[in-house]
Structure 1
Amino acid sequence: MAESGTLARGTAGRRMSPGVEKSKSVEFDRELLRIALLDNEPQRLTTEEFRELLMTAVMSGASDITLQSDQQPRPEINGVLYRGMQRPLSPTEVNQILVEVYGGANGPTQINGGNVLDFSYELNLPTGEKQRFRVNATGIYGRDGSGVELTLRALPRRTPDLAMVRVDRDMVDAMAPREGIVVISGATGSGKSTTMAAMTRYHLEESVHPVKIVDIQAPIEYTFRDVMSRVEGSSSTIGQSEVGRHVHSFAEGVHSALRRKPHIINVGEARDFETISASLEASLTGHLVYTTTHAGQCATAIRRLLSTFPGNEREARAYDLVTALRFLMVQHLVPSADGKGRVPIREYLRFTDRVRAHLLSIPTTDWSGAVTEMVEGRILADDPDGMRASLSEVCARKFIDGEISKEWAFRLGGLAAIGGKF
């Protein structure tokens, strides 16, 4: 490719990234699962043609775009994968795309060395706006034994608000305690980061109680520029650090945050003992901590968090965890019944005094089962401060209301919740 990629890394101010001016929204074939991201496919993609392809996918509704050596581009639109070209991309083309999005020629070298890269990529649009992407680059088995897979997540140019993520007032109140930990769980692509960003925006726009937020991400997905550029309103502030660029790890970022006098700390992902321990320390010293983890149900999230603790510390750390937890939510994004969007399905449990007392009265090995019972309303259903919903009952409600299909209601247990009548 002719260009080095420095423009796309946002170092050239407001100058438009060449190629994006040719992008447009195009129709996709739902039966053949095809979409033509380029009018005329070249024998070899240039930098400008790659940018055109990428932005055409975004403008056509793609949330993610997967590029693999020896494979056709695969944009994902409303949860469905489409073939974006007739011919596959060669290994050379994918390596050159990696150089472009990574912003340096050492990208392929890093992949060949067994490293996994997580970073952000930015295009300057003709409108003066920027389109940002979260990128993962991972080595895969290819034709000659080595290949690359690039997954680009298109990030909204506008910071999401609570209406966009469909979080109602009761849930906002439950997710905005004065201190403690709020955990948002789900699979990759389930919208965890988007929901966290909407809650962050809510706090930043709160004018009655301004807050200082420390945001630690890998990579930074939402910059909140549109929120913070307004001179009127709240005096809240946010400082963002990217793991691998500004801090070495999530745990180091949290420890640094404790010396910066924040009210709220966002931890992009709680995936190891050091990060969870640091987050617990922060929450138990009067801070509000938001974090995410990968889990499909509340019970699984509890089990995953507990599993990070060494055996000799598990009981003590489990006590800290249940003392700090305020709200646990698991989120799924399901294609809408009309195929034009996706619907959030959320299972959740508010950790009230009664919930904590019950968990502390039983062995930690029984916590996962107890959380399932509480989520399903089989125990502590009379808790006056309680707030809970199971995946199956929320899914059943969305199906009855016509928001999701029978197929998805069946997949997530919604039909069982209504007795399989449909």
Structure 2
Amino acid sequence: MRERRRREGRRIRNRRRQVPPSSCRYRKGGGGEEEPAIEREIMSDKMNRAISDAILRMSERLGGNPAIEPEGAEGPIPDGRKPVEELHTETLGGSTTDRRRGHRLPSRLKLDIHWPKIEEEDARKGFYTIDVSATGLLFSSPIPFPLQQVLELLVYFPKHPKPSLVRTRVVRVTEAPGEDRFRIGVTFTEQIKGTKLAAAFAQYYDFSRFLKSAVEMGASDVHLTRGHPVLARCRGEIVPMKTARFDEEDIEHFIVGLLNEKERRLFDTEQVLDFSFEVAGLGRFRANVHRQRGRVEAVFRVLPREVPTLEALHLPKTMARLAMLQGGLVLVCGPVRSGKSTTLAALIEEINRTRRAILLSVEDPLEQVIPSRQSVIKQMEVGTDVASFAEAARNALRQDPDVLVVGDIPDPETMLSLLRAARSRITVFAGVTAESIPAAFDTLLTRFPPALEGEGYNLLLRSLRAVVCQQLIPRRDGKGVVPAVEFLLNTPPVATCLRARKWDQLTYQLQNSAEMLDLDTSVRELWLANLIDWEIASSMVSNPTILKQR
């Protein structure tokens, strides 16, 4: 650990030697002679050693002075106490994703900086916070600042009409990845009112505390809605959390702090945005940000912390055979919020655990990060790594995969590209939003151009290997949900029904095959395993007497 910190110190010192010439000007000394500015002075060997030691001491926090503890804040914002953590960048499955190493989420506030060397052009580019804590700030700047430089910041806190003065000292300077900007870490040097407000802001707008409570409650979703406390969905029921009723300004600060610049621009254009993020110690979350009557609101889905397996999800054992397919198409169907992405992740993990393969997964957004085991897992996010599902499916033919997994089939181009891949000995797993197997085929027919509907449907039937359709049922013990599944294999009798579009006869095929599974049998097995209540089970089967059959 200490050696890693030393390497980090050397890396930052090397970067300081590469500071642009504009920030390395000379200034007049007291006797009229030119003398180097502090940018030159800190490069002495003695100063380098002092800075290195300081960086080592502060590497686990943003340089906060433990002897200074902010007092309670004045005004409507309660007190805070959590330290700032650095925002790191990791490469996950080929995509670059901001990942929190601490327990808080970033917050954006506008800054003005009092420093004579800031030129007007740089000032126009703006300064804003990336993170705020009780001990310091991490902010984005178009120019670097010297280490140990004292800065006076004017911070524009919400619900306060005037900016607050905060006196700080620079302790960290890094380049912002993918941007022509710098990330500047500063610590507070004086206990003044602005410091108290910063500490209060850090606590009040720390949305991860609500996410942590939701995870502890076993919630599946968290709703952030104007005029309401934070709402959590537990076992299908909406439960208000013990929080204040947030107004529009509060929600804006919660949400904007989660978005990078690209996502902010996209949301301003589309007015709706899907993305995912990770909070260290809690797990990954999928977010949908949208507008309601012109105001920003959001829903957060709690994603599984561990990669699920087929056994853990209580899926049929016969589904394991899908991992060994060599080509063809497998559809995973279900209504919205039915766990399709989780089932696809379990199938990926089954392949990953049992065979050597190159597997491409395309999601929007990326949800479950799956490490490679036996197989090589490449996960791509629409909008970050690839422009669209259609482009990913089209490019897959040139990337030599054995397996291609897509979370959705949104358009005809994607549908045709997937079928071409399935006919090229690539096993394709695709998610389809549909409440039943017949509804899934109805949906897929709309994915073909009208002139190619007949030809496309025949190509679909020749490529089809299996269909999984599921819906979620609350567990009897209150620990989440469990899927009830229909599992259809494209056997010759099934293919005959599908060619004639006699989808109502598929239930008979499901009930009379030892390799397939119908919904009644799936629900009965869950009830016999004591996983679901009698009342729920009896309401889902065609005849309650089925449940008592052995």
Whether TM exceeds 0.5 here: the answer is yes
Partner of 1:73: 230
Q: Does residue 61 in structure 1 map to residue 218 in structure 2?
A: yes
Q: Secondary structure at the match of 1:183?
A: strand
Equivalence for 1:17: 103
Matched, 1:117 2:273: yes
Question: SS of the counterpart of 1:165?
Answer: coil
Aligned counterpart in structure 1 of residue 290 of structure 2, from 111, 131, 138 = 138
Change (3 A) 1:94 1:317: same
The residue number in structure 1 matching 2:43 is: none
Cα 1:274–1:370, aligned 2, differ >3 Å: closer, same or farther? farther
Mapped pair 1:215 → 2:361:
yes
Alignment of 1:313-392 (within 5 A): 313-360=452-499, 362=500, 366-375=501-510, 377=511, 381=512, 387-392=515-520
Change (3 A) 1:402 1:114: same
Sort the Cα spacing of 1:155 and 1:419 in 2 relative to 1 into closer, same or farther, 3 A: closer
Deviation at 1:329, TM superposition (A): 0.9
Matched with 1:36 is: none
Q: 1:273 to 1:6 in 2, by over 3 A?
A: farther
Alignment of 1:38-187 (within 5 A): 46=203, 49-104=206-261, 107=264, 110-111=266-267, 113-125=269-281, 131-141=283-293, 146-174=294-322, 176-187=324-335
Relative to structure 1, the CA distance from residue 284 to residue 319 in structure 2 (aligned partners, 3 Å threshold; closer, same or farther) is same
Distance 1:240 1:338, change over 3 A: closer
- The one-letter code of the counterpart of 2:290 is T
Equivalent residues of 1:45, 1:93 under 8 A apart: no
Query: Take 1:159 and 1:111, find their aligned partners in 2: how far apart are those partners?
Result: 30
Is the 1:216–1:250 contact (alpha carbons within 8 Å) kept by the matching residues of 2?
A: yes
Deviation at 1:87, TM superposition (A): 3.5
Range moving further from structure 2, 252-261 or 161-170: 161-170
Aligned match for 2:422, one of 283, 288, 291? 283
Q: How does 1:304-315 map to 2 (within 5 A)?
A: 304-315=443-454
1:198 to 329, 346, 363: 346
Give the Cα separation in 1 of the matches to 2:201 and 2:436: 44
Aligned to 2:167: none
Equivalent of 2:442 in 278, 300, 303: 303
Cα distance in 2 for partners of 1:411, 1:73 equals 32
**How far does residue 121 in structure 1 lie from its aligned partner after superposition?**
1.4
Partner secondary structure for residue 102 of structure 1: coil
Letter paired with 1:217: E
CA contact 1:44–1:93 (8 Å) conserved in 2: no
**Higher strand fraction: Structure 1 or Structure 2?**
2
Amino acid at match of 2:436: Q
Cα–Cα, structure 1 residues 396 and 170, in superposed 2: closer, same or farther, change >3 Å?
closer
The answer for the alignment partner of 1:38 in structure 2 is none
- Match in the other structure for 1:413: 541
Q: Distance in 2 between matches of 1:110 and 1:214?
A: 26
Amino acid at match of 1:166: H
Q: What is the root-mean-square deviation of aligned Cα atoms in Å?
A: 3.2
* Match of residue 396 from structure 2: 257
Q: Quick one: which amino acid aligns to residue 292 of structure 2?
A: I
The 3 A distance-change label for structure 1 pair 18 and 271 is closer
Q: Given the alignment of the two structures, is residue 7 of structure 1 paired with residue 87 of structure 2, yes or no? A: yes
* Deviation by residue 1:385-415 (Cα, 9 ceiling, x = unmatched): x632222342244345543224423442354
* Distance across 2 between alignment mates of 1:56 and 1:92: 22
What is the letter of the counterpart of residue 219 of structure 2?
A: A
Partner letter of residue 116 of structure 1? V
Could you tell me how far apart the structure 2 residues matched to 1:103 and 1:358 are? 50
Q: Deviations over 1:139-185 (max 9, x none)?
A: 222xxxx1223111122222112222223432211464221111111
Distance 2:535 2:267 in 1: 39
Q: If you compute each CA radius of gyration, which structure gives the higher value, 1 or 2?
A: 2
Letter in structure 1 aligned against 2:541: G
Displacement of 1:333? 1.2
Separation of aligned partners in 1, 2:441 and 2:100: 45
The runs of 5 or more residues in structure 2 that have no matched partner are 1-76, 91-96, 107-199
Cα deviations by residue, 1:99-142 (Å, 9 ceiling, x for unpaired): 122234973x75454432111112123xxxx621111112222x
User: How far apart in 1 are the matches of 2:468 and 2:545?
Assistant: 19
Instruction: Say if 1:337 and 1:403, in contact at 8 Å, map to a contact too.
Output: yes
1: distance between equivalents of 2:251 and 2:527? Answer: 41
Instruction: Name structure 1 gaps, 5 residues minimum.
Output: 21-42
**Aligned sequence identity (%):** 27
Q: Distance in 2 between matches of 1:244 and 1:211?
A: 25
How many correspondences in the alignment?
A: 371
Q: What secondary structure does 2:207 align onto?
A: helix
Aligned residue number for residue 532 of structure 2: 404
Deviation at 1:14, TM superposition (A): 7.1
Question: Letter of the aligned partner of 1:159 in structure 2?
Answer: V
One-letter code of the match for 2:509? M
CA–CA distance in structure 2, aligned partners of residues 46 and 105 of structure 1: 26
Match of 1:189 among 332, 337, 352: 337
Q: Is the 8 A contact 1:187 1:295 kept in 2?
A: yes
Question: Structure 1's 289 and 12: CA in aligned 2 closer, same or farther, altered over 3 A?
Answer: closer
* Counterpart for residue 30 of structure 1: none
**TM-score, reference length from structure 1:** 0.78
How far is 1:45 from its partner?
A: 8.2
Q: Deviations over 1:343-392 (max 9, x none)?
A: 210012111233224433x2xxx3432334433x3xxx3x6xx6322223
Whichever residue aligns with residue 276 of structure 2, its letter is S
Change over 3 Å in CA distance of 1:339–1:238 after alignment to 2: closer
Which residue of 1 is the match for residue 42 of structure 2?
none
* Residue identity matched to 1:371: L
Give the Cα separation in 1 of the matches to 2:283 and 2:406: 24
